[in-house]
Amino acid sequence: MICMDREAVGPAPGWEALRWALREHRKALGRLERLRAYYEGQNPAILQKERGSGQPNLRLPHPFGRYITLTASGYLTGRPIRYASPGQEEALARLLRRFGRCALDSVDSELSVNASVYGKGVERVYLDEEGAPRSVSLSPLEAFVVYDDTVAHQPLFGVTLIPKAGPDGAGEGTLIEVLTADAVFTWTASGRDPATARMIAESPHPFRETPLIEYWNNFDEAGDFEGVLPLIDGYDLLQSDRLNDKEQFADSLLVLTGCQLGETFHTRRRVAEDGTLVEERVPDEDPAARLRRDRCLSLPDSDASAQYLTHTLHEADTEVLRAALREDIHKFSFIPDLSDRSFSQNASGVAIRYKLMGLEQLASVKERWFREALRARLRLYAAWLEAAEDIRLDAEQVEIRFERALITGEEEG
């Protein structure tokens, strides 16, 4: 969370406040980009690992991050979020029709995924060409909110960073939007250097609050798989070394006793610098390369022998360690292994609910923070509804209902 003194910022953030906020945001970019890499299955800890020269270096990243994120976010928003408000049915119906035009179910799903990966998702509410509100999910790498430094941590302003590209696709600069409770201030900068920023436009909006909302995943703003990254690294390393050992086993050393691979030569003629014709002995193909190609070896007598020198692969021990790492990843991320036999069709609904207890507790925490952000969205849309259509809706009285996509193993009526 980025916090500033409200009095220092004033009614609209100036150059100094914006520069400080951008500097604080850049400090978190390394962590966010690392989390994105794990979500995409490009685990840097294993992909950047090097082995000795000449040794097999197969690297196997496993997309545990994607599995954890899609399971957790799907469990939370797999079914559309429902709204109800007794006594405000007509106003709520008008609002929900606007939600439907904006396809907010898809936006909610994307926000849930971003919150699971980065620890927070970011929603931008804006007015479209017809002057109606719409929502879009932004990456936390390119959008953030600055809060005041009181215990309430009320939003001061939001910032979005929009890279601008020229006709050839090369970067030409960054468009910076600074959003307050009253207006949107547009700045432009060369590249991502805030030192070149200058304000080029200011436009009011009807939302009465900052139209940039952060959807926190939990109090720590931590991603769902962030706490098990070392375990994922260990699993990737184990599986990679396991495959490299197999590769080295195939390239075992050939031990020859009482003989050696003979080197053969042939005669080649060439013209020397003085114009004379000379002959020289040139070695034939490397004996080891010929042996690998022909797969045939001739021994000189009965006393000679050949055998491969190999090391024993302890697959049973490796498999025990692999299973233990996999179990710990699921255990400490609170995401069940749905391929486990306990999730077979023969399991009772009670047994499956017991297996989902950790996921349910995780979803309950995510739901509380998600609901708080949804309440802010309701206030923004309600403000527009009142300003544009003179329809009043008390957003604080709207009930927000999450429905779990439970797997019970039983028919439910």
Report if residue 324 sits inside a domain: no
Kindly state whether residues 219 and 260 are assigned to the same domain.
Answer: no
The token pair that represents 180 in the structure block: 């307050």
Kindly state whether residues 164 and 289 are assigned to the same domain.
Answer: no
Our CA angle for 88, 89, 94, nearest 5°, is 100
What's the gap between Cα 116 and its chain centre? 8
Kindly state whether residues 182 and 80 are assigned to the same domain.
Answer: yes
Report if residue 350 sits inside a domain: no
Q: Which amino acid is at 44?
A: P
The token pair that represents 24 in the structure block: 């604080």
Counted domains in the chain: 2
Report if residue 274 sits inside a domain: yes
Secondary structure string (H, E, C) spanning 168-228: CCCEEEEEEEEECCCEEEEEEECCCCHHHCEEEEEEECCCCCCCEEEEECCCCCCCCCHHH
Predicted confidence band at 411 (pLDDT cuts at 50, 70, 90)? very low
Report if residue 323 sits inside a domain: no
Taken in order 22, 157, 128, 189, is the CA torsion positive or negative?
Answer: negative
Alpha carbons 377 and 136: distance in angstroms, whole number: 12
Looking at 292, 309, 326, the residue that finishes a domain is 309
Kindly state whether residues 272 and 371 are assigned to the same domain.
Answer: no
Which has the minimum average pLDDT: 63-67, 77-81, 113-117, 300-304? 300-304
Kindly state whether residues 21 and 107 are assigned to the same domain.
Answer: yes
Predicted confidence band at 167 (pLDDT cuts at 50, 70, 90)? low
- Report the pLDDT averaged over residues 73-86: 92
For the stretch 299-351, pLDDT in tens is 777 777 776 656 665 677 788 888 899 999 999 999 988 777 666 565 666 77
| Strand runs labelled E in 226-273 | 253-257, 265-271
Report if residue 62 sits inside a domain: yes
Kindly state whether residues 144 and 24 are assigned to the same domain.
Answer: yes
Q: Which amino acid is at 170?
A: A
Looking at 309, 327, 347, the residue that finishes a domain is 309
Kindly state whether residues 281 and 163 are assigned to the same domain.
Answer: no
The token pair that represents 332 in the structure block: 């400490």
Kindly state whether residues 162 and 300 are assigned to the same domain.
Answer: no
Q: Is the pLDDT of residue 262 over 80?
A: no
pLDDT at position 379, please?
95
**Does the model's pTM come out above 0.85?**
no
Strand partners, 120: 216
Predicted confidence band at 412 (pLDDT cuts at 50, 70, 90)? very low
Residues 188 and 180 sit within 8 Å (Cβ to Cβ): no
pLDDT at position 239, please?
87
Predicted confidence band at 253 (pLDDT cuts at 50, 70, 90)? low
Kindly state whether residues 156 and 109 are assigned to the same domain.
Answer: yes
Kindly state whether residues 81 and 215 are assigned to the same domain.
Answer: yes
Domain that holds residue 288: 253-309
Alpha carbons 120 and 157: distance in angstroms, whole number: 17
- Report the pLDDT averaged over residues 382-409: 85
Q: Quick check: helix, strand or coil at residue 123?
A: strand
Report if residue 233 sits inside a domain: no
Strand partners, 277: 271
Residue 210: phi, psi to the nearest 5? -60, 120
pLDDT at position 281, please?
76
Report if residue 39 sits inside a domain: yes
